[in-house]
Amino acid sequence: MKPESQDEERSFNRAGLLQLAGLAAVLALSTWVLVSFLLPPGLPEDFPKLPDVQSMGPRLREMLTGADKDARRHPGSAESVGKLGMVYQANQYPEQAAGAYRIAARLAPGDYRWVYCQSTLAEESGNEKAEFDLLQRTVRLKHDYAPALLKLADGFFKQDTLGEAAHEYELAARSPGGEAALQAGFGQARIAARREDWSQVIAYAGPLVRSYPSVRPPYQLLEKAYEALGQADKANEVRDAILSGKFTDVPPPKDAIHDQLTDLSYSSTRLLKEAGVESRFGHQDRAIQVAHRAADADPGDPDIHNFIARTLLTFYGEKPEAVDEALTQLGECLRLKPDDLTPLWGFANDFFEKPKPGGSVERLRALLRPQAGRADSHFYLGLAADAQGETPEAVAEYRAAIQNDPKNSGAFNKLGLVLDKAGKFDESISYLQKSVQLDPMNTVARFNLGVVLMQRGNYGQGLQQLGEVLKLKPHDPATNFCMGFAYLFSQKTDLAAAKFREGLRYKPDDPEAHYGLGSALSMQHQRDDAVKELREAVRLRPNYPEARELLHRLDH
């Protein structure tokens, strides 16, 4: 056998080494690929530790573990880590949220969102200094972000640094979309009021009351400015507007990040609080939607069911389907907390302010009946019987309520009204007088007493009671209209016309008031003005035979 040469041996060794090197490279690449898929990338040391998820609800557990997994797979993505922080914050894990936001802010130092989110965390914990510093950093990164500008301006205002506050409010007013116009304008008006620059207060607050007529605080500043300038007539005009309307406070500005936190939340506490804010500022649909999510997060919280019930009753009490759901929610509230009947009494008290279908009344009475043995239930059972036209039972329940609480002005008032409908006028007047005696501020009882007295032909005493109502509620349309008809029947047409006009200032769409004013003007031989009022009455109520008949007589 021929021995291998030395050159052949060297050639073999080189080829083998090359093959081994190639194999090693392939193995190294394969190992790197496998590691990149099977092992998580290196996480920052301060990456938030996932809390115990076993005690969480299934939806929160799924969302939180999903966000955590995504952030761990992409620890270099500010978007993924920041989203994890928002999930933590939205569900009451502030320490983990803070950690995630810090990482996201490091990864994307030019992104205002993660700094602003840190400011909201500081706000929730009551750390005003940290919040203020973070807001300043936010607006340096995004100079037109209105929510941060307004909060920063409010902070400067609290510190009495008015020049800086005015600057931030001005920037907020110029932010895209004009969505902060109300809050920024009100802020400028407050600064002007603190400086006692009353003309500037009017310049800022005046446009606000025209553009946002249901927001009270600008009216209050405007009234104060007119008083300070000695313009009593204008101050009184603004005061009348305040007394005659239904108002809210200045709402918070639209904040996309705040809304995103709400949408990510499965915390019943946060959601119920948010629902309350939405309801307070007139966003009832959103309030009910968020409250339902709170109920899904914690079905065993009776306060959530009570909130939904009262919100539906308050804002949609004329819709049978809404009333039915409200009763269902109330029933669940009582089932969860049977020893606390305050929600039941409060609901029943408001339920009968407007007429309800008989079926709804019976559903409420079914909730009330198990409490019939309680002394404080008689008044509410009386309301139910009264609503169903069951006069004897209503009288019995109201009498029982009075026996239980002899100082219950409301029970005396209700009993007086039931007896009036039953034709027992003298007894009715006696109970209504007792109601007023027990509570001189009870304008409802005074009004009812005035009406019943006039129905019995005692116009003098009846008008006296209605006059007392107007001292307490000077702009009450119903009282002015009632006095108008009383004067009309007494042939005092000048006084009648004045009362109808006064009431129509605050309720211009009342057909009966227009008919009454038209009647008074007709008696004064002011035909054209009378026809105008009668036509308005018919427009508002096409099926109004008395108005049509008088209009027909005047037209012919």
Let me know if residue 416 belongs to a domain: yes
Take residue 67 and report the two structure tokens written for it.
């966000």
Summarised one tens digit per residue, pLDDT across range 41-77 is 679 999 999 999 998 889 999 999 999 999 999 999 9
Share above pLDDT 70 across residues of the chain, in percent, rounded to a whole number: 93
Domain that holds residue 469: 401-474
Buried b (16+ CB within 10 A) or exposed e, 278-301: bbebeebebbbebbebbbebbeeb
- At residue 223, does pLDDT exceed 80? yes
Summarised one tens digit per residue, pLDDT across range 123-160 is 999 999 999 999 999 999 999 999 999 999 999 999 99
Closest by CA position to 294, among listed 317, 320, 266, 321: 266
Using CB atoms within 10 A of its CB, is residue 487 exposed (0-12), middle (13-18) or buried (19+)?
Answer: buried
Residues 166 and 83 in one domain: yes
Using CB atoms within 10 A of its CB, is residue 51 exposed (0-12), middle (13-18) or buried (19+)?
Answer: middle
Looking at residue 245, what is its pLDDT?
73
Looking at residue 549, what is its pLDDT?
94
Beta bridge partners of 248: 215
- The CA distance from 299 to 289, in Å, is 15
Residues 545 and 432 in one domain: no
Among 448, 474, 500, the domain-final residue is 474
Let me know if residue 265 belongs to a domain: no
**Position 228, amino acid:** A
Residues 494 and 456 in one domain: no
Q: How many residues does the chain have?
A: 556
Residues 450 and 533 in one domain: no
Give 149-178 as a DSSP string: HHHHHHHHHHTT-HHHHHHHHHHHHTSGGG
pLDDT band at 12 (very low <50, low <70, confident <90, very high): very low
* Number of helical (H) and strand (E) elements in the chain, helices listed first: 30, 0
Let me know if residue 130 belongs to a domain: yes
pLDDT band at 219 (very low <50, low <70, confident <90, very high): very high
pLDDT band at 39 (very low <50, low <70, confident <90, very high): very low
Looking at residue 3, what is its pLDDT?
46
Across the range 224-229, mean pLDDT stands at 97
Among 422, 448, 474, the domain-final residue is 474
What total number of domains does the chain contain? Answer: 3
Let me know if residue 366 belongs to a domain: no
Residues 451 and 511 in one domain: no
Residues 173 and 74 in one domain: yes
Among 210, 242, 274, the domain-final residue is 242
- The CA distance from 360 to 324, in Å, is 7
Let me know if residue 527 belongs to a domain: yes
Residues 119 and 141 in one domain: yes
Residues 469 and 506 in one domain: no
Looking at residue 314, what is its pLDDT?
95
Looking at residue 475, what is its pLDDT?
85
CATH number of the domain within which 204 lies = 1.25.40.10
Let me know if residue 189 belongs to a domain: yes
Residues 466 and 483 in one domain: no
Q: Is the distance from CB of 189 to CB of 204 less than 8 angstroms? A: yes
Looking at residue 556, what is its pLDDT?
74
DSSP code of 543?
S
Looking at residue 24, what is its pLDDT?
46
Summarised one tens digit per residue, pLDDT across range 294-347 is 999 999 999 999 999 999 999 999 999 999 999 999 999 999 999 999 999 999
Let me know if residue 37 belongs to a domain: no
Across the range 16-34, mean pLDDT stands at 43
- At residue 217, does pLDDT exceed 70? yes
Looking at residue 28, what is its pLDDT?
42
- The CA distance from 207 to 401, in Å, is 51
DSSP code of 377?
G
Residues 467 and 498 in one domain: no
Q: What does pTM read for this prediction?
A: 0.82
- At residue 20, does pLDDT exceed 80? no
Summarised one tens digit per residue, pLDDT across range 354-405 is 899 999 999 999 999 999 999 999 999 999 999 999 999 999 999 999 999 9
Residues 194 and 164 in one domain: yes
Alpha-carbon distances, residue 223 vs 181, 185, 230, 244, 357 (angstroms): 21, 16, 11, 14, 43
Looking at residue 5, what is its pLDDT?
46
Q: Is the distance from CB of 521 to CB of 490 less than 8 angstroms? A: no
Q: Is the distance from CB of 99 to CB of 47 less than 8 angstroms? A: yes
Let me know if residue 317 belongs to a domain: no
Residues 407 and 495 in one domain: no
